[in-house]
Structure 1
Amino acid sequence: MSFGLKQSSPRALPRASAETLREEALRFQHDFNRQFAAVGEGERNHLSALLDHVPDHLFIKDANSRFVLANAALARDYGAARPEELVGKSDFDFHDRSRAETFFAIEQEIIRTGRARLDMDESIIRPDGSVQWLLTSKLPLRDDEGTVVGIVGVARDITERRQNDAARAGHARLLELILAGAGLDEILYNLALEVEGQLGDVRVAVMKVDPSGDCLRLSAAPSISLSYRRALDGIPVAIDAGACGSAAFRRDKVIIEDITTDPLSKPLREAAIRSGLRSCWATPILSAEGAALGTLNLYSDKVRRPSGREVQLISMATHIAGIAIERKCTEDRIQFMAHHDALTGLPNRILLDDRISQAIQHAHRRNRSATVAFLDLDHFKEINDSLGHRAGDHLLKIVARRITASLRSTDTVVRFGGDEFVILLPDLPRGGRASTATMHRIRAALAQPFDLDGMLYDVTCSIGTATYPDDGDNAETLLANADKAMYSAKHAGRNNVRRFRMKRPTPCERSADGQVTTADEAARSAGGPAKRIRTLRLPGGLPLSQRR
């Protein structure tokens, strides 16, 4: 049997403050106590119709915490077709045991003590599996003698408020990570966890555009299978490359409601189905200038579109991801500029000493050697003077590429300044043959013609080497001795390689033009006599210009 009030008693509770909610609950209790015994069957029906239009949960329970009255809003969120289906049942019939026991304990305390419990944050699980948060007030229901015979309750849906609070808190946590200088992968991983935690039934992947701009690289996917992560990583940035590749290419969101049928999902369809994914929504992560930095992908195991709340959270998450990625890119650019040559992109002198020191330590531990080489282009000034600095800069870039292509991945080439380069060959066997072969390989690479402003030019170089441990045991000494050896190569006629020798050289060296140069004069030539101008030739030996 259900109970009710006279038709005039209930009021549609406005969506206002918690204080208003408490006042309405108290009025509801007062009206019920006054009219409970006198109400008739017809009036109860009118009351039920009116209560069903109230958006908040309204209910009355007996002393055993069983429903005796409920409105349509509560019945709907409990999964009942009609309010009458709740009558005679308790929370144990609708909720998990732990949650039902919590509700029961609170209500029995109210009945035992006669004291109301106001403004409690409670949560229930709706039939669709979603969490609903409620601001609940429960008050004792008394008969005419003042005996507590049950409770009257009112609960307002505050799910949206809780979700917004959670989103703001997550937003703040991620910003704190960014400001604290956390690594980008850590930030993006935590962002994915935040989105998954707040939405509950989605899986998240965060991807970054590869430096080449041609593909996407997976940065974070905490809940996605290994097989699908492998399929995602490296997907092209292209209009037909799944949701994420297409979103990055278009710089606009792409929604695939059904992975099994949408043509756009074809590149990843089999891997997605094996991983239990049925829909995908990819949103580009954009820079402040609108360039694609990556994508945020959300996956569901149901065929559906994103909800309004999901769209809102995606917008927040992509904004945070954009800030984090742009900040990291800026930091990387600053770090790169501090340690690399702006023209060639090679490491600069700041990195050189550290790498030489590391190479020496490694060679000392393993009874190996390490070679430092000084390379100087022959007559580079004449190219600058005759063709201009733009052509000279272009030549230096090509030289840097050719030297790099002649080395191992573990070797280092540094632009030391002007047309001088320093090469470090770590972890070599004792004896020096490996470094000599490498230097001649570099010299041969640079001997190939250079295309400058549509004309082909021959350029040569002079190289000097010094090797640990024979020629020095620290970076400064090795660099100085390699420099001396390079100038020895210059005075020996250029376009050759010289190795530094610790013992005193022969009293004199004969240069390519037949002039005799003493060892002391060779050493002083580092900053002394003007360089002799060589002939610049086209391939085949045709003189391009002759200067002396």
Structure 2
Amino acid sequence: MEPIIGDPIASFTDLLLDTVCMVDVSGRFVFVSAACENLFGFTQQEMIGKLMIDLVAPVDRERTLAAARNIMNGLSHINFENRYVRKDGGIVHIMWSARWSETHQLRVAVARDVTALKQAQAMQAALYAISEAAHASEDLVDLFERSHAIIGELLPAACFGVALFDASGQQLDFAYLVERDVPSNAAIMRLLCDEVLLRRAALLLEPGTAEVLSAPLRAAANDMAGSALAVPLATPQGIVGVIALRTGAAGTHYTAADRDLLLFVADQLAATIERKQLHAQMRFMAMHDELTRLPNRRLFDDRLDTALARAHRQHEGLSLLFIDLDRFKHVNDQYGHACGDILLQQVARRIASCLRDTDTLARMGGDEFVVLLENISPPSDAALVMEKIHQALAAPVELGEGRQLQISVSVGMAHYPEHGDSRQQLVSHADKAMYAAKTIGALGEPAA
């Protein structure tokens, strides 16, 4: 083949820092300047004859082909941006200026590496996007869904997971894990997260990596298509979790620059997670009993009001059980308040074991509990639940140090609509019925 351009001109183009490319009608490179190796990772000889579109990142191929058609139709294209996959699998952002040579039947283009600029812009955009997501999201799952979309615009994220510590701060569990267009493999994501926690540093994982890894993680890496990236979610108070990504596509790899970008995003996200967890904890404390972790009076009142409105609308019944421990003051006086607390926790667990997931058990204060039974009819069904509770509490309660205590409870019932159609009426009726049951129980006790 005759050279496209004379040797003197070719030598001048090799002096340029930007890359000069020429592509024929079939879309193959017929000339590239020496700067191509810095840009694409391929030598000039390796690029000649390659299809241009094969080097374009898959997500940008359709619009790149559309731009190529416009250029061949005589439209000059200035500052067109797309992403290419380098020889090493990394992504490079390129800005092109191109036009069509009708005489030579070639697209002539100049390519400039704008990766550093795009990364700086991406960091700024991510900062704003995460901040906006933090304010707009209703909970952590919503935040992670929005974060997945944000990070997916910056990095390949066919698999995206966020693992957080549980309340004990010991167990790491996935609060969010989505795998798209990749074989499901949560095991490698968990291994990644465990390794990041062990190192307390980011980990970029590829098949055949030189990193010193545990045997299970090395085996998983060698079987993995593409690469994986995981970084800690770190706050000034410590690590709260890990973000883990996988490309999912063979030949697509993360780079050190991608790692730095994800670390930047993780810093913003970690602060948001910590703040939302604190707010969630404060909301929980405001609506739950600290000792038993049950709903408190405020939350119970709200649930009962909602249940009454629903029962009225759907013409259904509901029942309340008002439960009071017998002789609880005697337990505190004889064994101490620590044992009294253990007793309340045990009682709460046993009562809860008698209920459906749709029922509500709340601690009203002291030794008083109340149960809300929705969609229950006739009232005899509520009596069956009451009997189950008595049976569950019949076994002695372990108070520690080998001490056991036999307990009993007094229970009062109220039914909607028979005993009222408001929260105040139903609670008052159940409370009075409970005291009546306690009086009958006291009368039946043997004299001391």
Q: TM-score range by the shorter chain?
A: 0.7 to 0.9
- Tell me, yes or no, if structure 1 residue 73 matches structure 2 residue 30: no
**Quick one: which amino acid aligns to residue 72 of structure 1?**
A
Mapped to 1, the partners of 2:236 and 2:202 lie a distance apart of 17
Shift in Å, 1:176: 0.9
Mapped to 1, the partners of 2:415 and 2:441 lie a distance apart of 23
For the 8 Å contact 1:446–1:460, the answer to whether it is kept is: yes
Mapped to 2, the partners of 1:256 and 1:209 lie a distance apart of 21
Shift in Å, 1:485: 0.9
Give the structure 2 partner of residue 221 of structure 1.
178
Structure 2 unmatched runs, 5+: 23-28, 57-63, 100-107
Give the structure 1 partner of residue 161 of structure 2.
206
Give the structure 1 partner of residue 25 of structure 2.
none
Shift in Å, 1:121: 5.8
Query: Which of 123, 147, 169 does residue 191 from structure 1 map onto?
Result: 147
Shift in Å, 1:55: 2.5
Post-superposition CA distance 1:314-364 (Å, at most 9, x none): 212322332333233222212211211111111011122232234334444
Query: Which of 337, 340, 353 does residue 288 from structure 2 map onto?
Result: 340
Query: Which of 324, 327, 333 does residue 376 from structure 1 map onto?
Result: 324
For the 8 Å contact 1:286–1:322, the answer to whether it is kept is: yes
- Tell me, yes or no, if structure 1 residue 177 matches structure 2 residue 129: no
For the 8 Å contact 2:93–2:118, the answer to whether it is kept is: no
Percent identical across equivalent pairs? 28
Change (3 A) 1:353 1:153: closer
- Tell me, yes or no, if structure 1 residue 512 matches structure 2 residue 441: no
Shift in Å, 1:187: 2.7
Post-superposition CA distance 1:30-55 (Å, at most 9, x none): xxxxxxxxxxx9xx4xx866763543
**Quick one: which amino acid aligns to residue 399 of structure 2?**
L
Give the structure 1 partner of residue 384 of structure 2.
437
For the 8 Å contact 1:374–1:420, the answer to whether it is kept is: yes
- Tell me, yes or no, if structure 1 residue 257 matches structure 2 residue 206: yes
Shift in Å, 1:402: 1.6
For the 8 Å contact 1:188–1:220, the answer to whether it is kept is: no
Change (3 A) 1:394 1:131: same
Structural mapping, 1:173-322, within 5 Å: 173-200=129-156, 202-209=157-164, 211=166, 214=171, 216-217=173-174, 219-221=176-178, 223-225=180-182, 228=184, 231-232=185-186, 242-248=191-197, 251-258=200-207, 263-265=215-217, 277-302=225-250, 306-322=254-270
Mapped to 2, the partners of 1:132 and 1:236 lie a distance apart of 29
Mapped to 2, the partners of 1:103 and 1:416 lie a distance apart of 75
Change (3 A) 1:221 1:317: farther
Post-superposition CA distance 1:383-440 (Å, at most 9, x none): 223333222222222221121122222221111111111122222221x322222223
Greater Cα radius of gyration, structure 1 or 2: 1
**Quick one: which amino acid aligns to residue 379 of structure 1?**
R
TM-score (norm. length: structure 1): 0.63
Give the structure 2 partner of residue 405 of structure 1.
353
**Quick one: which amino acid aligns to residue 133 of structure 1?**
I
Change (3 A) 1:156 1:305: closer
TM-score (norm. length: structure 2): 0.75
Structural mapping, 1:371-520, within 5 Å: 371-430=319-378, 432-454=379-401, 455-494=403-442, 511-512=443-444
**Quick one: which amino acid aligns to residue 512 of structure 1?**
G
For the 8 Å contact 2:232–2:239, the answer to whether it is kept is: no
Post-superposition CA distance 1:193-245 (Å, at most 9, x none): 33333234x523123337476453362426344x51xx52xx699xxx53235
Give the structure 2 partner of residue 56 of structure 1.
18
Mapped to 2, the partners of 1:193 and 1:247 lie a distance apart of 23
Mapped to 1, the partners of 2:83 and 2:72 lie a distance apart of 14
Shift in Å, 1:268: 6.8
For the 8 Å contact 2:396–2:405, the answer to whether it is kept is: yes
Mapped to 1, the partners of 2:37 and 2:174 lie a distance apart of 48
**Quick one: which amino acid aligns to residue 221 of structure 1?**
V
For the 8 Å contact 2:317–2:415, the answer to whether it is kept is: yes
Specify the SS of the correspondent of 1:264. helix
**Quick one: which amino acid aligns to residue 467 of structure 1?**
H
- Tell me, yes or no, if structure 1 residue 134 matches structure 2 residue 95: yes
For the 8 Å contact 2:204–2:259, the answer to whether it is kept is: no
Change (3 A) 1:384 1:433: same
Specify the SS of the correspondent of 1:392. helix
Mapped to 1, the partners of 2:202 and 2:109 lie a distance apart of 44
For the 8 Å contact 2:364–2:370, the answer to whether it is kept is: yes
Shift in Å, 1:481: 0.8
Mapped to 1, the partners of 2:152 and 2:385 lie a distance apart of 53
Mapped to 1, the partners of 2:262 and 2:134 lie a distance apart of 18
For the 8 Å contact 1:341–1:415, the answer to whether it is kept is: yes
Specify the SS of the correspondent of 2:300. helix
**Quick one: which amino acid aligns to residue 294 of structure 2?**
L
Matched positions, count: 420
Give the structure 2 partner of residue 112 of structure 1.
none
Structure 1 unmatched runs, 5+: 5-40, 61-66, 110-116, 139-151, 495-510, 515-533, 536-548
Change (3 A) 1:363 1:197: closer
Post-superposition CA distance 1:81-106 (Å, at most 9, x none): 269979xxxx99x9965434555688
Structure with greater contact order relative to length (CA < 8 Å, sep ≥ 6) = 2
Give the structure 2 partner of residue 64 of structure 1.
none
Specify the SS of the correspondent of 1:320. helix
Mapped to 2, the partners of 1:243 and 1:383 lie a distance apart of 50
